[in-house]
């Protein structure tokens, strides 16, 4: 894999073709459309009301819900696939490099450390809220105290599983990643994961050159969805020959 510093735009497409980055958003689009097609067939059969192929009303409603969800997912990831394609072809790219196995390990370790710290805070705050809400019900209701207590414990257990289990999953996923880094003005592909901040109520908050715990590029971006505004931080190792300061200037320019 080639590593570079101050590469001309005309050379980026050639370099990326050697890196062989796959557009992993296309697979999600494909399977979403396949599932949507299956659900559409079920809906049509239900409306035809065939005696040889009876469809229960509950299945019809569920099929319609799944059809809508998968269609939305397909449309959303189709847009993401187009954006990733621009990075892969060099059309909208600022810098690109490959991570060594040591750099990929450092990236995975730093990400899991950051996720654990963030999840620990979120788990603590959410657990306190659950205890206050369910504790109040348990104190004031006369019947069902045991059931409410079980629900409370169950919710806390599920939260703990996600809070402390997901960082381990992300670490393993990052260790199995392709090690490729493509950085654009509005999105980035890092070790197999596509990050996007170019849609409404989203944007890049900060970019900086890192020296600790490793030499690299730091990025902070935010996006808004049904869970309101979320912030993501990326700590990306880079080889010494990559001019990280030039990349930061380009991103903030």
Q: Residue ranges per domain, the chain?
A: 9-88, 107-178
Q: Which residues of the chain have pLDDT under 70?
A: 1-22, 24, 51-53, 144, 225-227
Q: Residue 2 and residue 70: Cα distance in Å, rounded? A: 38
pLDDT for res 4: 38
pLDDT for res 8: 43
Q: Residue 67 and residue 70: Cα distance in Å, rounded? A: 5
pLDDT for res 10: 43
| Nearest alpha carbon to residue 101 among 19, 175, 173 | 175
> In degrees, to the nearest 5, what angle opens at C-alpha 24 toward C-alphas 179 and 215?
25
Compute CA 78 distance to the chain's CA centroid, rounded to the nearest angstrom.
Answer: 15
Q: Residue 232 and residue 225: Cα distance in Å, rounded? A: 13
What is the longest distance spanned by two Cα atoms in the chain?
74
Spell 119-150 as b/e; 16+ CB within 10 A means b.
beeebeeebeebeeebeeebeeeeeeeeebee
pLDDT for res 219: 93
Tokens of 192: 């197999």
Torsion over CA: 71, 72, 77, 82 (sign): positive
pLDDT for res 6: 40
pLDDT for res 1: 35
pLDDT for res 21: 67
Q: Residue 23 and residue 14: Cα distance in Å, rounded? A: 16
Q: Residue 117 and residue 28: Cα distance in Å, rounded? A: 30
């Amino acid at each position: 894999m080639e590593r570079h510093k101050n590469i001309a735009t005309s050379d980026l497409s050639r370099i990326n073709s050697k890196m062989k980055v796959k557009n992993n958003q296309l697979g999600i689009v494909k399977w979403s459309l396949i599932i949507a097609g299956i659900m559409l067939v079920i809906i049509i059969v239900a409306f035809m009301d065939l005696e040889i192929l009876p469809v229960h009303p509950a299945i019809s409603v569920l099929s319609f819900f799944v059809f809508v969800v998968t269609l939305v997912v397909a449309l959303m990831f189709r847009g993401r696939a187009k954006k990733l394609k621009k990075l892969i072809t060099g059309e909208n790219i600022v810098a690109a490099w490959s991570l060594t196995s040591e750099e990929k390990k450092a990236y995975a370790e730093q990400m899991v450390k950051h996720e654990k710290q963030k999840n620990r805070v979120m788990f603590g705050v959410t657990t306190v809220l659950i205890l206050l809400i369910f504790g109040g019900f348990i104190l004031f209701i006369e019947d069902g105290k045991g059931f409410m207590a079980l629900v409370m414990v169950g919710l806390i257990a599920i939260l703990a599983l996600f809070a402390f289990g997901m960082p381990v999953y992300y670490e393993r996923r990052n260790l199995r990643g392709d090690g490729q880094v493509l950085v654009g003005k509005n999105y980035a592909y890092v070790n197999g994961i596509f990050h996007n901040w170019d849609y409404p109520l989203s944007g890049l908050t900060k970019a900086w050159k890192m020296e600790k715990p490793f030499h690299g590029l730091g990025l902070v971006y935010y996006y808004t969805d049904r869970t309101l505004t979320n912030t993501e931080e990326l700590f990306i190792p880079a080889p010494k020959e990559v001019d990280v300061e030039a990349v930061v200037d380009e991103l903030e320019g």
